[in-house]
Chain A
């Protein structure tokens, strides 16, 4: 029973193996030699570090212009939010909503969601682990969609280089934003959702004997 509870599946070859000692977190898979971690190593620390890094980059990503559109010599740099406002002003609600979702909602959701999960794991909360796992899957799953903005910026900048007639250039904000997206993707993948259940099951074990 205890062996089954503590045995870990190798991520490479799916062999179910028992960890060598109670305290150790990582060992080599006896079959394929790949490293097997009982839980992702340093998961909480790593995730915290990446979430903080992403949050720091998120500030310049919103302050600095993402791209500059120049038509006939006229044009101003646009930040994410000023671009959204401009799209709304020109009546393009759908695109504005899409950009708002991809560039504002998703990164904020990921950063706030991961922070909440980290705090809840740290406090060994056992509140609704199923919902929290769903939140994690959501954060991990939608994170990559933030990149559609960056794809759009990079393609448009590469295509629209018509000199004085029309030029689109990326701004510093685009680099910061891309960094935010990449770092949050790593943050999401470095978080181990099993920790949610560790805390929940530890509490269950404590409560059950009573």
Chain B
């Protein structure tokens, strides 16, 4: 209590304000210390590891500004950019946020996103304004942690569908396919091309495609892929047929897929498939893979060429798969593919002959001109006939002799052989059957059905097994 009138000397002791020895003010620096330490902890805990990436060029990259993005979300920032000491290019050091750091593992890929204009559209358009950024496709979580990478110069596989099915197609050449080219299934877009590369031997290309997760069930072991860019002109006796998959794929390039026959086991990531040149090649390859392979050996080839018909009573029942010169160069071998539905026709006692060209009989009655068919007249063909009493069914890998011309009686052979399903066969009637064999699944038996000299048999045996394996590899 103080009173205005008293002299200072009279003021009681209680009124004297004695400051405490330690001021409460020290709480402020303590708070400051806590705040500063908290901020430091927060900053340091948000600081992930430093990842080193080398690029061919630093175009568009800026230290402290360029971000590292995963699925368009920033997961890091470029700290320094420097020239590489030992190799051409630049070294970029990126500070990765802790949330992404665990997945900077082996297999992680980095590339710079810049505006790009390609056949499949414009990409990286947003970087025109925002500047380039480094995109990352994070690696698997359980792989080995890696901190030094070589950046890709071109954007690789899509990462916007992390669960997409990734397949590798092998082709002789890239054609019109480019990154981002669509993959169609019955004209519906189901995936896209996400990268391509020369294969290991540089003798072909490997094209990486990604199939959207919801369409992944379309892909199985029997799926065929073909290049849908461009169009195909097919000329035959039945006319000229031009086929165009779609105008869109003609411009942008594309890949179509389809499954021929029954679906096989589902495809897994990174499965390899051949890429056929067009739908016809794809169908041919499929058809070829189903045919029963038969070899005929002869002395002269005539005008038989690959792809030509195998005729039975003038009906095409197969085609010539390849024509090979035997190792001893003394004779030729023709590999025939017989359609599965006609495979029954080839019997152990069947006779094959060269049906190409014209043979003429000149006799007293005039000139008889024989030709198997009009098509065979111009091109070539292999014909065969089976006797009235068919022998046992010829398995894949059977070897027959190719006669230069048919004997007269062969042309009159008309055995009854049931081609349909066994169960559909009429009970009565002189129809020969044998157990239906899924011959294309079988190993070749390499049986000689016409007597030949044993030494000759032996050489052709080896040669034929080579040829057969070559064909299997093609398939």
- Chains A and B are bound partners: yes
Interface 9-mer from A41-49, A129-137, A155-163, A201-209: A41-49
Across the interface, B8 reaches (CB within 8 A) one of A17, A42, A74, A76, namely A17
Q: Is the CB of B4 within 8 A of A30?
A: yes
Q: A35-B17, A49-B25 are in contact. Are A30 and B3 (CB under 8 A)?
A: yes
Residue in B closest to A63 when the chains form the complex, CB atoms: B43
User: In the complex, which residues of chain B have a beta carbon less than 8 angstroms from the beta carbon of A183?
Assistant: 28, 32
User: In the complex, which residues of chain B have a beta carbon less than 8 angstroms from the beta carbon of A73?
Assistant: 126, 129-130
Q: How many chain B residues touch the partner (CB < 8 A)?
A: 34
User: In the complex, which residues of chain A have a beta carbon less than 8 angstroms from the beta carbon of B23?
Assistant: 42, 45-46, 49
B31 beta carbon closer than 8 Å to chain A = yes
Q: Is the CB of A42 within 8 A of B25?
A: yes
A81 beta carbon closer than 8 Å to chain B = no
User: Considering the chains assembled together, what is the distance between the CA atoms of A52 and B9 in angstroms?
Assistant: 39
User: In the complex, which residues of chain B have a beta carbon less than 8 angstroms from the beta carbon of A33?
Assistant: 2, 4
Q: Is the CB of B15 within 8 A of A28?
A: yes
Q: Is the CB of B39 within 8 A of A64?
A: yes
Interface residues on A, range: 35 or more
User: In the complex, which residues of chain B have a beta carbon less than 8 angstroms from the beta carbon of A24?
Assistant: 16-18
Smallest Cβ distance from A53 to chain B, in angstroms? Answer: 4
Smallest Cβ distance from B67 to chain A, in angstroms? Answer: 9
A141 beta carbon closer than 8 Å to chain B = no
User: Considering the chains assembled together, what is the distance between the CA atoms of A72 and B11 in angstroms?
Assistant: 71
Smallest Cβ distance from B200 to chain A, in angstroms? Answer: 43
A119 beta carbon closer than 8 Å to chain B = no
B302 beta carbon closer than 8 Å to chain A = no
Interface 9-mer from A54-62, A105-113, A144-152: A54-62
Would you give 28 A-B contacts (Cβ < 8 Å), ordered by A? A18-B8, A19-B8, A20-B11, A20-B15, A20-B16, A25-B18, A27-B2, A30-B2, A30-B3, A30-B5, A30-B6, A30-B11, A31-B4, A33-B2, A35-B17, A45-B22, A53-B28, A54-B32, A56-B33, A57-B35, A57-B36, A59-B36, A60-B39, A72-B130, A73-B129, A74-B130, A76-B64, A190-B25
A20-B9, A41-B19, A56-B32 given; name 5 further pairs at CB < 8 Å: A26-B16, A28-B11, A42-B19, A73-B129, A179-B32
List residues of A whose CB falls within 8 A of some B CB: 17-21, 24-33, 35, 37, 41-42, 45-46, 49-50, 52-54, 56-57, 59-60, 63-64, 72-74, 76, 172, 176, 179, 183, 190
List residues of B whose CB falls within 8 A of some A CB: 2-9, 11, 15-19, 22-23, 25-26, 28-29, 31-33, 35-36, 39-40, 43, 64-65, 126, 129-131
Closest 7 CB pairs of A and B: A28-B2, A26-B17, A53-B32, A56-B32, A53-B29, A41-B19, A52-B29
